[in-house]
Structure 1
Amino acid sequence: MSARQLTVRFHGALNDFVAPERRDRVFTHELQGSPSVKDLIESLGPPHPEVDGVFVDGQPVGLGHRAEAGTHVDVHPASIPVPLPEQPRFVLDVGLGRLSGFLRMLGFDTLWRNDSADALLARLSREESRVLLTRDLGLLKRSEVVQGYYPRATDPAHQLVEVVRRYGLTSRMRPFSRCLACNASLSTATPDEVQGRIPEGVAQRHRQFQQCPGCQRVFWPGTHHERMQNLVDTLRRLEASP
């Protein structure tokens, strides 16, 4: 190695972000300046919220540790499932609108708007202890982001499976308890309470309703409800699968 080089190895799922020729192997890297371990790792691909452990010459270090030439750096991903509070909360970037609807459908407090700036998303993630979900690596690498994840899949249903597995959400799902449109908690309602806000045919076929105190939407167990229930059942079956 030259006087400015060190060696690095990324482990597990972090290799998703590394150049193919560097995956699952030790490689040499030329240092530029005196970067922190965080900056070194992110310059090579992985965002810091997906990193759980960093070891320099076998000793654990923090992300603020200064990288030094002549050392070896091992970078490990978070263990699965990643521990979260009993009632985890999420904030999603503008490109994950359908995923936000799925998470709300499962009962999770999920913030999403189609016009939120990156700076706001990062700040909400930190100040409100929300997991930031985004497919924008630049956003995920912002220093104020503490908890975050980059869904690998592009299909929203597959993204949901990833998130549920990563954070062990199955046992904490409370399906159909949150408004899909505005994220508020739903309350039960009688037919009389929702009269005039639902189609006449629905009023004749259904006696059980939920209403949103925020946007005043009314929900009932129709065909869409059945499709979502099938998704919930699928997630529960996947819980024990490898």
Structure 2
Amino acid sequence: MSARQLTVRFHGALNDFVAPERREQAFTHVLQGSPSVKDLIESLGPPHPEVDVVLVDGKPVGFGHRAEADTNLDVYPASVPVPQVAKEAHLASPLPEMPRFILDVGLGRLSGFLRMLGFDTLWRNDYADDLLARLSHDESRVLLTRDLGVLKRSEVVQGYYPRATDPAHQLVEVVRRYGLTSRMRPFSRCIACNAPLSTATPDEVQGRVPEGVAQRHSHFQQCPGCQRVFWPGTHHERMQNLVDTLRKLEQST
């Protein structure tokens, strides 16, 4: 009996997860049983949260569609427009005006950057994989992780695998992927504990900042959660430069 086969092609950034000899081209895959499109795609590499459109013989299908022999499967990420595909055929969920995030243990510095930009971002160094996936689903948070096993869990709806290892480069990736520059509210959230910041007068922070800072500055912010105090010092200037760079990147794309 001849093998049951179908033809598969991944498009755009999804090729980052595919074996080199299969990138940017159609290839033949031997079917084992009758897997769902989601399971078939993930068995070949890409995690389902990065998939936006799946076409079988040119017609859009959902993740639950059963793969069949002698068909052509095209898989697209959100970054690649697919002409003549209805809005409801897109599998990626739309972001709210202010998206919220949850990050795995290896992305601690990225979490600080996202909080600096004003985004509600959960991060702990002891999140278990099942808790990451569950919180992402239950609280409608975008899961950012470099663990493909976590990203492929069925309960994860929105998620992204940062390709870069440098946190600043990861931030650029995430900002571009989700179009965050227009949503940024810099310096509105505590980078340490994620709580929204409030303004504070010099009298309110007296004794909680170095004497020289108290003499040079009159504008402060404080965190109601961890009680940290922030002011526009050299660190603030570096972060402002990063914000300006991100805005310029969007204007150039």
Give the TM-score of the pair, scaled to structure 1: 0.97
Contact 2:134 2:156 in 1 (8 A): yes
Identical columns (%): 88
Instruction: Identify the range of structure 1 (77-86 vs 49-58) with the bigger mean alpha-carbon deviation.
Output: 77-86
Per-residue CA deviation, residues 84-134 of structure 1 (Å, 9 max, x unaligned), is 111110000110000000000000000000111111110111111110001
* Among 149, 160, 169, the residue aligned to 1:149: 160
Cα separation, partners in 2 of 1:80 and 1:20, compared to 1, 3 Å? closer
Contact 1:80 1:166 in 2 (8 A): no
Deviation at 1:53, TM superposition (A): 0.7
Q: 1: distance between equivalents of 2:80 and 2:102?
A: 20
SS of the counterpart of 1:175? coil
1:6 aligns with 2:17: no
Q: 2: distance between equivalents of 1:84 and 1:62?
A: 19
SS of the counterpart of 2:251? coil
Deviation at 1:80, TM superposition (A): 6.9
Contact 2:102 2:123 in 1 (8 A): yes
- The residue that corresponds to 1:180 in the other structure is 191
Q: 1: distance between equivalents of 2:144 and 2:19?
A: 22
- The residue that corresponds to 1:139 in the other structure is 150
- The residue that corresponds to 2:62 in the other structure is 62
Deviation at 1:241, TM superposition (A): 1.6
Q: 2: distance between equivalents of 1:2 and 1:210?
A: 70
* Among 131, 137, 140, the residue aligned to 1:126: 137
Contact 1:80 1:167 in 2 (8 A): no
Q: 1: distance between equivalents of 2:57 and 2:250?
A: 37
Q: Which runs of 5+ in 2 are unaligned?
A: 82-91
Q: How does 1:1-242 map to 2 (within 5 A)?
A: 2-79=2-79, 83-242=94-253
CA RMSD in angstroms comes to: 1.4
Q: 1: distance between equivalents of 2:127 and 2:206?
A: 35
Per-residue CA deviation, residues 129-185 of structure 1 (Å, 9 max, x unaligned), is 110001111110000000000111111000101111111111111110000000000
SS of the counterpart of 1:191? coil
Contact 2:12 2:80 in 1 (8 A): no
Instruction: Identify the range of structure 1 (1-10 vs 61-70) with the bigger mean alpha-carbon deviation.
Output: 1-10
SS of the counterpart of 1:194? coil
SS of the counterpart of 2:246? helix
SS of the counterpart of 1:239? helix
Cα separation, partners in 2 of 1:182 and 1:175, compared to 1, 3 Å? same
Deviation at 1:47, TM superposition (A): 0.2
Deviation at 1:3, TM superposition (A): 3.5
Cα separation, partners in 2 of 1:24 and 1:146, compared to 1, 3 Å? same
Give the TM-score of the pair, scaled to structure 2: 0.93
Q: 2: distance between equivalents of 1:219 and 1:140?
A: 35
Q: 2: distance between equivalents of 1:154 and 1:2?
A: 44
Q: 2: distance between equivalents of 1:157 and 1:131?
A: 18
Number of equivalent positions: 242
SS of the counterpart of 1:210? strand
Contact 1:104 1:178 in 2 (8 A): yes
Contact 2:101 2:122 in 1 (8 A): yes
Q: 2: distance between equivalents of 1:28 and 1:80?
A: 22
Deviation at 1:196, TM superposition (A): 1.4
Q: 1: distance between equivalents of 2:21 and 2:154?
A: 28
Contact 1:133 1:150 in 2 (8 A): yes
SS of the counterpart of 1:185? coil
Question: Amino acid of the residue matched to residue 225 of structure 1?
Answer: H
Deviation at 1:195, TM superposition (A): 1.0
Q: 2: distance between equivalents of 1:3 and 1:13?
A: 30
Deviation at 1:199, TM superposition (A): 1.1
Contact 1:3 1:70 in 2 (8 A): no
